A and B are shown apart, each in its own frame.
Chain A
């Protein structure tokens, strides 16, 4: 349903993405893993046209868009079919929780307010934020802001939602509430591409796990194979390292 083909991107003379291809079926939850600086954010941003790639194509429901040279109108049409959840939420500071969720329906899609609010309230209810609907973002905790940001994405009924480390900016106590919402979306069959460092999420929720290193995909498999029987020796090393850091972290938390 969504396919990224031969994506390349360099910043100056750093070749961040060398030749990345990735395909996502309807209902898939793809988790994208990789060390810091391996280009995960860059890939998602290119897939959302927030950065222009140097080469590559994205195909959404059979329609293909050139990641380097798609026209403004094509980009707009493509973006209106996707959702994006950012590491630092990026809620609109001048709008309440509900207005954040309805803005995408009312302003670009010209839906009338009452209908948009009905959809917005449903979305907020789904993420457990109905009781905070009239709060401005500055009055919400990080976890609450992220849940509103997720509601903002799902209210638009996108074909696929990109998540870029949705819990990395959150305290460990707040991570759970966001992951639970994402798990619920996965159970409902939402198609998602999730960049994360949460191994447990990758293991339990993903239908496919992808590991990036040095600008290429080095492993792409179902979670069971990925964690128990990876094809590439670098994958096993990555998993060991991730487990080790997780233990370090939980030890630090205990101290």
Chain B
């Protein structure tokens, strides 16, 4: 690794950090938030056994979990224009990622809710709670601490998956590294540097996760 490459990598670093902050992190945060709401709705629809919606939820989870995310991205970005729906890169990515988080995390959330002893729901009813009150005040808070580790996993997974949006012309960390490398031909070093940027983001998330788990542990 000669001096030229060192200088190039130092020069490239802020250029990679910039899309991390401008693109990867907002894309992750937005998609994950929408995805969690979808996941909660999908889980509750199944737990409350609401007819029709429940089958719809199963169908949605089935489709999303059993098709590759990159194919979904292609269908949305390159395919939908054929039927008159034109989405640019960012909305396409948000759509695919949040729908994916919704499908995977709904199973996590459902399992977590079902792991809270059913007797607590009975007790809540006999204390005068309505179903929504019991869910949101008693069951879901406990399910959250149960679901927290697997949901953190999904979040970290999503950070890395956002690199797939490169394929639908989204200029994020990987695409930026690709562009710089295309000029200098130092693919090896620049892709390593891109990996390093993801490593930093995910490490920070891992540290936050550990702290939060300790905090949740204390409140039990």
Among listed B69-77, B84-92, B129-137, interface-contacting one: B129-137
B128 interface residue (CB < 8 Å to A): yes
* Interface residue? B119 (CB, 8 A): yes
Known contacts: A76-B130, A107-B129, A107-B133. The answer to whether A92 contacts B123 by CB under 8 A is yes
Chain A interface: which size bin?
20 to 34
Question: Looking at the complex, which one of A90, A94, A108 makes contact with B117 (CB distance below 8 Å)?
Answer: A90
Known A88-B119, A90-B119, A93-B116: A50·B137 in contact at CB below 8 Å: no
The reply to whether the CB of B122 lies closer than 8 angstroms to some CB of chain A is yes
Tell me how far the C-beta of A171 lies from the nearest C-beta in chain B, rounded to whole angstroms: 20
Contact pattern, B 85-128, Cβ under 8 Å of A = 1, otherwise 0 = 00000000000000000000000000000001101101111111
Given contacts A88-B119, A93-B120, A94-B142, contact A109 B126 (CB under 8 A): no
Minimal Cβ-Cβ distance residue in B for A49: B125
CB of A136 within 8 A of CB of B220, answer yes
Q: Which residues of A contact B126 (CB under 8 A)?
A: 48, 50, 79, 82-84, 153
Is B4 in the interface zone, CB < 8 Å from A?
A: no
Q: Say yes or no: is A86 at the interface (Cβ < 8 Å to chain B).
A: yes
Q: Which residues of B are found within 8 Å of A84, using beta-carbon distances?
A: 122-123, 126
Q: Is A128 an interface residue (CB 8 A)?
A: no
Whether A79 contacts B128 by the Cβ 8 Å rule is: yes
Cβ of B12 under 8 Å from chain A: no
Contacts of A136 in B (CB 8 A): 219-220
Once the chains bind, are B119 and A108 in contact (CB under 8 Å)? no
Interface residues of B (CB under 8 A from A): 116-117, 119-120, 122-130, 133, 137-138, 141-142, 145, 219-220
